[in-house]
Amino acid sequence: MNEFVERQLTLQWHEPKKSYDVVIIGGGGHGLATAYYLAARHGIKNVAVLEAGYIGSGNSGRNTTIIRANYGIPEAIRFYQHSLDLYQTLEDELSCWVMYSTKGIIWLAHTETQMRAERARCLLNVACGAETVMVTPQEAKELCPQLDLSGGGRYPVMGASYHPAAATARHDRVVWAYAQGAMRHGVHVLQHRTVTGLLRDGVRVSGVETSAGPISAGVVLSAVGGNVSTIAAHADVRLPIRTHPLQAFVTNAHEQGFGPILSDTELLCYVSQSARGEMVIGAEYDPQPSYSLRSSFNFLQSCASKVTHLLPFLRDLRILRQWAGICDISADFSPIMGATGVDGFLVTTGWGTWGFKAIPAGGEQMAELIATGRTPELVERFGLDRFAADRAMADQGSAGTH
């Protein structure tokens, strides 16, 4: 984090103590939000958040900032709708501008099969409290005038589902806002502290081993993105998670005027415009698991070719930068929150390509779980034990890209 940003925020850094009630591994959105809600709502202030790099340097700073609730299974729709509601009031809650901007998301369908899938999504969303409607190609064109309805002659638009509440926010600002809020309540955020192991007291986890000495804790929560299998292995916990890179890129600045977020299941890509005017373009995650943050030309080529079919004006733009983040993809494409079967060790993981939109609700629910010792009703179906109980929450269709 640079000095300019530090001046905009009041971040208080603390000297580390030897022991905390709660230690959270991972200073990204989920870790800091959990710390904030623990301190602000539950009065648990003896909390430390350990971050290997600087706060928000992992997936919280690498995602494409899309917030939406139009998921494909009832439990997920309710959860993400709650997160969206929390996002809408986040600036008041944290007294910090996060550049929240409601845009609406258009999900294009090019085939009759996809039309059926989008109709089903609309019905389920409305039944579970998230507003999503079907729109005709002409209505989609009115919402997004730059759209080529013939799809470059290859992908004609048959219709789309439209989720008007979808939004974007500035990802770094969300992280900083939660960090500032948590620090105001006395939470210690320790940067450049790599967790190298977990302290065990019999089977129980009683703290963490870090690059600068051990820290004991009543509860250890892993909120890391990308390396959760390594952390969990220290507690002999096995996870149904594979880590895949997800790549994205932005173009140079274009005049403001691309209103909505455009998404496409068949082409597996999505486009939005940032506040700076850059077009943010992303795709599905890479097929093979990897911890590499390297970007590839193959991705750029295939993704650019797909989006220019839908939005011909992108052909005149130049690619400014590309990057990758590593996503913990769970076996059923739903998050995993809560107990691990090892006393004193909790996880919030499986956030894959859909973690940013879940930061407020994920943090709030994990804080409630830690404070009360009971799993809140909203997330009780997202426990790790669902796999053994054969109650997997398959939702690849709405979670595969962003």
Q: Which of 191, 216, 296, 322 binds other proteins (CB under 8 A)?
A: 296
Site size toward other proteins, by CB under 8 A: 23
Q: Which is nearer to other proteins, 1 or 268 (CB)?
A: 268
- Residue 236 near other proteins by CB under 8 A: yes
What residues have CB less than 8 Å from 19, skipping those under 6 apart?
Answer: 207, 215, 216, 217
Binding residue for other proteins, selected from 11, 158, 319, 331, defined by CB under 8 A: 331
| Residue 290 touches other proteins, criterion: CB under 8 A | yes
What tokens appear for 365 in the block?
A: 């629910």
Instruction: Tell me: does residue 308 bind other proteins (CB under 8 A).
Output: no
269 binds other proteins (CB under 8 A): no
The residue range among 68-76, 103-111, 122-130, 237-245 that interacts with other proteins, by the rule CB under 8 A, is 237-245
User: Residue 292 interacts with other proteins (CB under 8 A)?
Assistant: yes
Please select the residue that binds other proteins; options are 59, 65, 161, 227, rule is CB under 8 A. Answer: 227
Choose one: 51-59, 87-95, 293-301, 374-382; the region binding other proteins (CB under 8 A).
Answer: 293-301
> DSSP secondary structure string, 107-168?
EEE-SHHHHHHHHHHHHHHHHTT---EEE-HHHHHHH-TT--TTGGGTS---EEEEETT-EE
Q: Output 112 or 236, the one with its CB closest to other proteins.
A: 236
Q: Are 378 and 82 in contact (CB under 8 A)?
A: yes
- Least distance in Å: CB of 292 to other proteins? 4
387 binds other proteins (CB under 8 A): yes
Q: Which residues on adjacent β-strands are paired with residue 269?
A: 264, 283
Choice from 238, 276, 321, 391 touching other proteins (CB under 8 A):
238
Q: Select the span of 55-63, 153-161, 179-187, 286-294 touching other proteins (CB under 8 A).
A: 286-294
Annotate 341-350 with b (16+ C-beta within 10 A) or e (fewer): ebebbbbbbb
DSSP H/E element including 220: strand 213-222
d(CA 349, CA 337): 6
Task: Choose one: 23-31, 76-84, 231-239, 255-263; the region binding other proteins (CB under 8 A).
Answer: 231-239
User: Which one of 193-201, 226-234, 315-323, 359-367 is the stretch in contact with other proteins (CB under 8 A)?
Assistant: 226-234
The answer to whether the beta carbons of residues 107 and 261 sit under 8 Å apart is no
Of 308, 266, 305, whose CA–CA distance to 115 is shortest? 266
Q: From the list 113, 298, 305, 372, which residue makes contact with other proteins (rule: CB under 8 A)?
A: 298
239 near other proteins, judged by CB under 8 A: yes
In which region does residue 67 sit, left (phi positive, over 0), alpha (psi from -120 to 50) or beta (all else)?
Answer: beta
Rounded to 5°, angle at Cα 40 from 217 and 346:
35
Q: Contact residues for other proteins (CB under 8 A)?
A: 227, 229-230, 236, 238-243, 245, 287-292, 294, 296, 298, 331, 387-388
